[in-house]
Amino acid sequence: MSEVVAFFDFDGTLTHGDSLLPFLRMVRGTPRFVMDIVAVSPYLAAYTLRMLRNDVAKEALLQQSIGGLSIEHLREHGAQFSKNEIPTLLREDVYARLRSHQQQGHCCVLVSASLDVYLEPWAKIAGFEYCIASSMAVSPEGLVTGKINGANCHGQEKVLRIKRLLSEIGLPARTYAYGDTSGDIPMIAMADEGYWVKDGIRPFIKFKS
C-alpha cells in the first residue's frame, strides 16, 4: 500500500462532461434514448431547478431506459464503452495529473456516482488500484431493476465509502482529491490536498469554522 492516495471524481473531472447519458445512448440507440429523455423530462427539469434530489432523478432515468435489461448485457456494453468511448471524453489536464500520481507510485482511487458497469473496466485500463462507484440493483433473474443498489455514490456517500476502503487497506500518510461539483466537496475537503478542477486545476481552499 502506497503512503500516498489520490482520489479522483470522474464526470467533469477526468472527463469533459457527463458519461451516463452517452452510455445510455449507446445501450438504447438514439431514437429510443431520445424517447427515454422525453419520458423523464419532468424529473430532469425538477432536478435542474433543485426541486428534486439527484438520486431520484437518476433512478427515474435508469428505470425508464435500462430497467428490465440483463446485467450481463449491460456489462458487455460497459466493456465496449470503456474501451471505445471513454477515451474520447477524457480531459488532458486532469488525466495528466492522474498519470503523474501513478508515476510517483501513489495509489489512485476512482470515486464516482456513475455506474460500475463501465467505470470498473475503464479503471483497470487506466491503472487505478480501486474503483468506488454506484451500482444497480439486480433481480434474482439477473435483470436490472433501475434502482440504485444502496446509496448513490455522491456527496457525503463518497466520504463514507472512502473511509470504508481505508479501514481495509490502511490509513495513508497523505491524501489528494480532485473534483468539480458540490457533490465532490466532502471528498475534496477531507483530503490533505484538494483540487477544484471546474475550470483548470486549482487548490481547494478550506475555510475554518
pLDDT tens digit string along 15-65?
A: 999 999 999 999 999 999 999 999 999 998 988 888 888 889 999 999 999
Q: Which residues of the chain have pLDDT under 50?
A: 209
pLDDT at position 48, please? 85
pLDDT at position 208, please? 55
pLDDT at position 207, please? 60
Instruction: Determine contact, residues 1/107, Cβ cutoff 8 Å.
Output: yes
Q: What is the pTM of this model?
A: 0.94
pLDDT at position 58, please? 94
Q: Classify domain 4-203 by CATH number.
A: 3.40.50.1000
pLDDT at position 163, please? 97
pLDDT at position 90, please? 98
